[in-house]
Amino acid sequence: MQKLSYSFYTLENYFQHRESGFGHTRIIILRHDVDKKPAKSLALAQIEASLGIHATYYFRIVPESNQPDFIRRIADLGHEIAYHYEDLTICKEDTEKAYESFQKNLAYFSTYYPVKTISMHGSPAGKYDNRDIWHTYDYRLSGIIGEPYFDFLDENVNEPDGSRFYFTDTAGMWDGDKYNVRDKSIGRSSNGKVKVHTTDDLIRFLTTNRNVREVMINTHPQRWTDNKAEWLLEYTTQKAKNIIKRFLVLRTGQ
């Protein structure tokens, strides 16, 4: 992507500079959801830093993600640390308690980095949509300048002839919207319109489509490995999850 003259942005930098515009620069907003196994995220963060790339790492508050040594080391590499919130799920849809929890957890992660962006954790097996807390409260009053599901993913994203795109590996593929309960564009689905399934497809798409100006790429580092045994376990586990998630999507009409 660097060879194609794309510039890499964190979510924080993107939201800070969006109003002034990016001129003729083609940008990739690089985001990683650290759902678990933060050692995998650190390995990726080290590779990115060696290439002069900074990304946004969204950490959950739960122990499988919230491991201070890894958070600190990723921040020390120059990456953005941000909060992957799920307070409404944790507090069982008690909105007031959820907001108190959000404020507490935001303050905690801000001890590692001055947190300016947040992103909801999808909690696909849960019955609560963590974004619903913002029907009552305003995250901007907490100093947050952006939440991608509200501030990037709109009706103009993933249009075949458009200039703004969102790709996530949530279902173990780049076009898994039909399996994704919540991690998808608020606007139109890319499924069936933009033919990007594998990583090779994604590279080809970004290489050949010169109209593309802004791309947000979201990965879950725990999924990525060059170990064949680990890859096979991840692949088979994700296949099983997708069956359940597809049922949930059909049942809820999402």
* Any domain includes 102: yes
**Contact indicator for 168, 196 with CB cutoff of 8 Å:** no
Cα 34 to Cα 66: distance, rounded to the nearest angstrom: 9
Give the pairing of strands 56-59 and 26-34.
parallel
Cα 189 to Cα 178: distance, rounded to the nearest angstrom: 9
Between helix 68-76 and helix 38-50 the angle, nearest 10°, is 10
* Any domain includes 1: no
Q: Tokens 């399934």 identify what position?
A: 197
Cα 68 to Cα 109: distance, rounded to the nearest angstrom: 9
Cα 75 to Cα 59: distance, rounded to the nearest angstrom: 12
**Contact indicator for 130, 89 with CB cutoff of 8 Å:** yes
For residue 239, the cross-strand partners are: none
Residue 163 has which token pair? 């200039």
The CATH number assigned to the domain holding 245 equals 3.20.20.370
Q: Tokens 């069982």 identify what position?
A: 92
Does this model's pTM top 0.85? My answer is yes
**Contact indicator for 33, 43 with CB cutoff of 8 Å:** no
pLDDT (tens, 9 = 90+) of the chain, 254 residues, equals 767 789 999 999 999 999 888 888 899 999 999 999 999 999 999 999 999 999 999 999 999 999 999 999 999 999 999 999 999 999 999 999 999 999 999 999 999 999 999 999 986 667 789 999 999 999 999 999 999 999 998 777 877 778 899 998 887 778 766 555 555 544 344 444 567 888 998 999 899 888 889 999 999 999 988 888 877 877 677 666 655 555 555 555 55
* Any domain includes 59: yes
Cα distances (angstroms) measured from residue 74 to each of 42, 168, 216, 232: 6, 21, 20, 27
Per-residue b or e along 81-120, where b marks 16 or more CB atoms closer than 10 Å to that residue's CB: bbbbbbbbbbbeeeeeebbebbeebbeebbeebebbbbbb
**Contact indicator for 60, 91 with CB cutoff of 8 Å:** no
* Any domain includes 41: yes
Domain residues for the domain of 112 are 6-252
Cα 246 to Cα 254: distance, rounded to the nearest angstrom: 10
Domain tally, the chain: 1
- 6 torsion bin: left (phi>0), alpha (psi -120 to 50), beta (else): beta
* Any domain includes 107: yes
